[in-house]
Amino acid sequence: MSKSEITALVWYRNDLRTLDHLGLRKAVESGYRVVALYTFNPKHYHTHRWGFKKTDRFRAQFLIESVQALKQALKSLNISLIIDTKTPDRALPEWIKKYKVKEIYLQHEWTEEEKKEEKAVLAQIDSNIIWNRHYEQFLFHPSDLPFSRPQVPEIFGTFRKVCEKEVQLRPSFPSPTSLGTSNLIEINHKVPTLADLGLPTLENDPRSAFPFLGGTTAALERLEEYFWKNKKLSFYKNTRNGLLGTDYSSKFSPWLANGSLSPKTIYWEIKRYEKEIQKNQSTYWLIFELIWRDYFKYISLKHGNKIFKIGGILERDYLWSSELERFRQWADGLTPEPFVNANMIELKHSGWMSNRGRQNVASYFAKEMKMDWRIGAAYFESLLLDYDVHSNYGNWMYVSGVGNDPRDRKFDVQWQAERYDPNRKFQNLWLQKTLF
């Protein structure tokens, strides 16, 4: 059997790009026929007992757009994308058998759901199939860290300073060379709609601070606009705590979350900006935020399922409430705090919330209402366009007093509102009742 009759399968999950994608590059270099696969796992769209979807319409629509963009990018490389709507353990064995798959290329994941998915697939396929896992979701590659996994510092400042000093960042590389048209397979799977996933139609809210599309093309357009056209990067440190509009922050996080954009791509573009335009505290601060993102990935890599436990990585025993009515009060923006309410209504209507807003509503939920922080984390997972399991649960633990905050702070919501929304423009935008 010739190499062209054997297939290398790229299993896409949270790495929806062709740029800076090691697995795709290795698959192309294998000499085998290359196909890609993404499955819209129906388990990701079920309803929680608290009454909301695991993945609701905002994140789902962004994902749909991202997969559509990936499909087009792969097509330009003469690589077909198989799109399935079954669970991976049902979908992959079928396609592996049909296309005589010898090797599988996938991003290395370590959280519970992803590991269960892989284990279920492994149980259904030939044990001789080679699995090639790669870490491409990091800024600092795990193999390059100056400490082992158990030695990952619990304090962010320590992690940052050591990595900045001792880790040489790897380059970002372009999409692989296009294969011949003979690599294409006779398939034209359509990307599902929201209705196909059992979700309601999405109506874009004109007030949204994130009016952007999913996918690498849109991500690169945003990078071009934010860095080179408007040069907003030069002012990032001063504006990053803003609440209104598209440009108070970079807005890269949704594309980073589903892997349409790699952190290395952003990092090296910052470095180019520093060389050609300006290097200041703002350019460094965006790198600083990328390191924060890396840090929570390493915390989850170190602690495993502890990040999903009520006591967090500190294993602290607090008396938490899980009363549904009180959760709904918070989720619907009906608390006694207008600033909390405005942020929660923004999330409900747009799938977005500023970093400042997230810190305040999470702190209020956990430390004022004393609600089980994991319910809040699950609600964020449902709605946030930029949901990332590591950052989401890491930050929720942090503000809830069961994570990596050495000071265990409680946000003064009223003081925060006065400082960051002194004229109540943000609150008025989301709290004022419409006439119709």
Region 86-111 average pLDDT: 96
**With 90 as the cut, is the pLDDT of residue 319 above it?**
no
pLDDT, tens digit, 9 for 90 and up, residues 190-217: 999 999 999 999 988 999 999 999 999 9
Does residue 244 belong to any structural domain of this protein? no
Neighbouring CB atoms inside 10 A of 238's CB total: 12
Does residue 3 belong to any structural domain of this protein? yes
Question: Domain ends where: 118, 136, 154?
Answer: 136
Does residue 293 belong to any structural domain of this protein? no
Count how many domains the chain has. Answer: 2
Of the chain, the percentage scoring pLDDT greater than 90 comes to 92
pLDDT of the residue at 435: 38
Select from 62, 349, 357 the least CA-distant residue to 208: 349
**What is the rounded average pLDDT for all residues in the chain?**
95
Does residue 208 belong to any structural domain of this protein? no
**With 70 as the cut, is the pLDDT of residue 4 above it?**
no
**With 90 as the cut, is the pLDDT of residue 431 above it?**
yes
For residues 103 and 32, the answer to whether their CB atoms sit within 8 Å is yes
Question: Domain ends where: 103, 136, 169?
Answer: 136
> Cα separation of 417 and 363, whole Å?
14
CATH code for position 109: 3.40.50.620
Q: Name the DSSP class of 309.
A: S
Write out the residue range of the structural domain in which residue 115 sits.
Answer: 1-136
**With 60 as the cut, is the pLDDT of residue 368 above it?**
yes
pLDDT of the residue at 62: 98
Work out the pLDDT band at 432, boundaries 50, 70, 90: confident
**With 50 as the cut, is the pLDDT of residue 124 above it?**
yes
Strand (E) or helix (H) holding 106 = strand 101-107
Tokens of 132: 């090639």
Integer-rounded Cα Rg, in Å, for the chain is 22
Between vectors from CA 136 to CA 130 and to CA 142, what angle results, nearest 5°? Answer: 95
pLDDT, tens digit, 9 for 90 and up, residues 240-277: 999 999 999 999 999 999 999 999 999 999 999 999 99
Does residue 275 belong to any structural domain of this protein? no
- Residue 194 gets the label, from left (phi > 0), alpha (psi -120 to 50) or beta, of alpha
273, amino acid identity: Y
Please list, in sequence order, all residues whose beta carbon lies within 8 angstroms of the beta carbon of residue 319, skipping any fewer than 6 positions away.
370
Burial 127-140 (b: 16+ CB within 10 A, else e): eeeeebebebbbbb
Question: Domain ends where: 81, 113, 136?
Answer: 136
Region 119-135 average pLDDT: 95
| DSSP strand pairing (80-84 vs 101-107) | unpaired
pLDDT of the residue at 289: 97
> Cα separation of 63 and 66, whole Å?
5
Q: Name the DSSP class of 293.
A: H
Beta bridge partners of 134: 107
Cβ-count burial of 268 within 10 angstroms (0-12 exposed, 13-18 middle, 19+ buried)?
Answer: middle
Cβ-count burial of 85 within 10 angstroms (0-12 exposed, 13-18 middle, 19+ buried)?
Answer: middle
Q: What's the 3-state SS for 129-189?
A: CEEEEECCCCCCCHHHCCCCHHHCCCCHHHHHHHHHHHCCCCCCCCCCCCCCHHHCCCCCC
**With 90 as the cut, is the pLDDT of residue 346 above it?**
yes
> Cα separation of 145 and 152, whole Å?
9
Please list, in sequence order, all residues whose beta carbon lies within 8 angstroms of the beta carbon of residue 378, skipping any fewer than 6 positions away.
48, 50, 52, 54
**With 80 as the cut, is the pLDDT of residue 417 above it?**
yes
CATH code for position 383: 1.10.579.10
**With 50 as the cut, is the pLDDT of residue 333 above it?**
yes
pLDDT, tens digit, 9 for 90 and up, residues 265-315: 999 999 999 999 999 999 999 999 999 999 999 999 999 999 999 999 999
Please list, in sequence order, all residues whose beta carbon lies within 8 angstroms of the beta carbon of residue 140, skipping any fewer than 6 positions away.
163, 167, 169, 291, 294
Does residue 369 belong to any structural domain of this protein? yes
Sign of CA dihedral 263, 269, 274, 279: negative
More confident residue, 283 or 2: 283
Work out the pLDDT band at 122, boundaries 50, 70, 90: very high
Does residue 29 belong to any structural domain of this protein? yes
**With 90 as the cut, is the pLDDT of residue 407 above it?**
no
pLDDT of the residue at 299: 97
Q: What's the 3-state SS for 46-63?
A: CECCCCCECCCHHHHHHH
Work out the pLDDT band at 52, boundaries 50, 70, 90: very high
Phi, psi (deg, nearest 5) at residue 321: -100, 150
* Maximal CA-CA distance, the chain: 71
pLDDT, tens digit, 9 for 90 and up, residues 138-180: 999 999 999 999 999 999 999 999 999 999 999 999 999 999 9
> Cα separation of 8 and 95, whole Å?
11
Does residue 242 belong to any structural domain of this protein? no
SS3 83: strand
For residues 95 and 215, the answer to whether their CB atoms sit within 8 Å is no
What beta strand segments (E) does 201-331 contain? none
**With 80 as the cut, is the pLDDT of residue 411 above it?**
yes
89-96: long-range contacts, CB 8 A cutoff, minimum separation 24: 89/117, 89/120, 89/121, 89/123, 89/124, 91/37, 91/39, 92/9, 92/11, 92/37, 92/39, 92/121, 92/124, 92/125, 93/121, 93/124, 93/125, 95/9, 95/35, 95/37, 96/9, 96/125, 96/126, 96/129
